[in-house]
């Protein structure tokens, strides 16, 4: 269903027959809510989120494209997260997600203004779907539609904000022993130690060449989020902690305790597409009782 939010922005509600649901804003192509079949919210959305362009919505799943971070020529995290996307009524067939009936297809094409800052023509198709078990699946397909014969390169992230009961009780498995770039230390490269990650201060790291599966274990909630990804070799782990939280106008001072960003991404090696070529990047999130995951 397409409806207006209290902020006057268009949003789409997805509902799966067993009760899980998701909410997608056309502004940003942004998932702001994902609820289990018990109605429990699984994503973090700041109580101070500003639903007003050009500010990106703080929480949920912002799309970072065509640039992750602030190092390129574009604004931090690119422009896809603060553009109005359209519903794509006639998308070319998606090979995946065929089991799902609860889905929406969105499309973003650059405006003339966008092409001044990033001079490339593209079609970005985003399918957001709920699986029969309540899994949330995002599939991005980005095509180079340049008519000048020129390739383009981009970096990308699904900037997912997970809701957690207490950050100090959270463990992340799947990133041990990997190399990472530390955004807090001039992007210097380090190697992670052998233990699952735990959190006691600000963290902003880009893990490189990560496995396709990462688990976020919330001890207090006895819940594990399983992140599965395809086409997205890197994974960003971010929590602003107290000082940075206070510095963000659209984030509550104590909210860092209740969120963790684990972002499926392609950053270290930008994706390059020749005209006519298409890239696909897929994210699949599930939330399961922790006991199911013991030993994984």
Binding-site ranges for ligand BG6 (CB under 6 A): 56, 76-77, 159, 183, 204, 236, 238, 261, 263
The structure tokens listed for 63 are: 């799309």
CB of 34 to ligand BG6, least distance (A): 19
The structure tokens listed for 37 are: 């079949």
CB of 39 to ligand BG6, least distance (A): 28
**Given the complex with ligand BG6, which of 16 and 263 has the nearer CB atom?**
263
SS3 172: strand
- Selection from 136, 227, 210 nearest residue 175 by Cα: 210
Q: Catalytic site residue 263?
A: yes
CB of 176 to ligand BG6, least distance (A): 20
Measured CA distances, 269 to 109, 156, 231, 289 (Å): 23, 10, 12, 35
CB of 160 to ligand BG6, least distance (A): 10
**Given the complex with ligand BG6, which of 24 and 245 has the nearer CB atom?**
245
Q: Which listed residue (159, 173, 255, 284) is catalytic?
A: 159
The structure tokens listed for 178 are: 């990997």
Q: What is the CA radius of gyration of the chain?
A: 18
**Backbone conformation region of residue 134, classed left if phi is above 0, alpha if psi is from -120 to 50, else beta:** left
CB of 157 to ligand BG6, least distance (A): 6
**Given the complex with ligand BG6, which of 76 and 153 has the nearer CB atom?**
76
**Given the complex with ligand BG6, which of 100 and 210 has the nearer CB atom?**
210
CB of 217 to ligand BG6, least distance (A): 21
Element (H, E) at 281: strand 278-289
CA torsion angle for 63, 108, 281, 255 (degrees, to 10)? 10
- Selection from 187, 226, 232 nearest residue 205 by Cα: 187
**Given the complex with ligand BG6, which of 80 and 129 has the nearer CB atom?**
80
DSSP 59-125: BSB-EEBS-SSSSSSSSTTBSGGGSB-EE-SSPPPPSS-TT-SEEEEEEE---HHHHHHS---EEEE
- What are the catalytic residues? 159, 263
């Amino acid at each position: 269903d397409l409806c207006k939010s209290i902020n006057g922005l268009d949003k789409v509600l997805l509902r799966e027959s067993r009760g899980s649901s998701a909410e997608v804003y056309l502004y940003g192509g942004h998932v702001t809510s994902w609820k289990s079949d018990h109605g429990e919210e699984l994503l973090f959305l700041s109580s101070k989120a500003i639903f007003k362009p050009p500010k990106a919505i703080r929480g949920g799943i912002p799309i970072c494209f065509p640039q992750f971070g602030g190092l390129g020529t574009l604004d931090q995290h690119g422009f896809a997260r603060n553009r109005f996307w359209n519903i794509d009524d006639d998308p070319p067939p998606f090979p995946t997600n065929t089991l799902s009936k609860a889905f929406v297809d969105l499309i973003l094409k650059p405006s003339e203004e966008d092409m001044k800052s990033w001079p490339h023509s593209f079609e970005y198709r985003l399918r957001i779907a709920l699986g029969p078990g309540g899994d949330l699946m995002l599939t991005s397909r980005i095509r180079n539609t340049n008519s000048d014969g020129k390739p383009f390169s981009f970096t990308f992230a699904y900037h997912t904000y997970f809701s957690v009961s207490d950050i100090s009780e959270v463990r992340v498995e799947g990133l041990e022993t990997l190399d990472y770039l530390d955004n807090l230390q001039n992007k210097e490269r380090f190697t992670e130690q052998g233990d699952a990650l735990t959190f006691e201060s600000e963290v902003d790291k880009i893990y490189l060449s990560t496995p396709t599966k990462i688990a976020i274990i919330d001890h207090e909630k006895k819940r594990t989020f399983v992140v599965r990804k395809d086409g997205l070799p890197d994974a960003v782990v971010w929590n602003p902690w107290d000082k940075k939280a206070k510095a963000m106008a659209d984030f509550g001072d104590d909210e860092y305790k209740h969120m963790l960003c684990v972002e499926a991404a392609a950053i270290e090696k930008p994706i390059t597409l020749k005209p006519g070529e298409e890239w696909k990047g897929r994210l699949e999130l599930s939330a399961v009782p922790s006991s199911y995951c013991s030993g994984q």
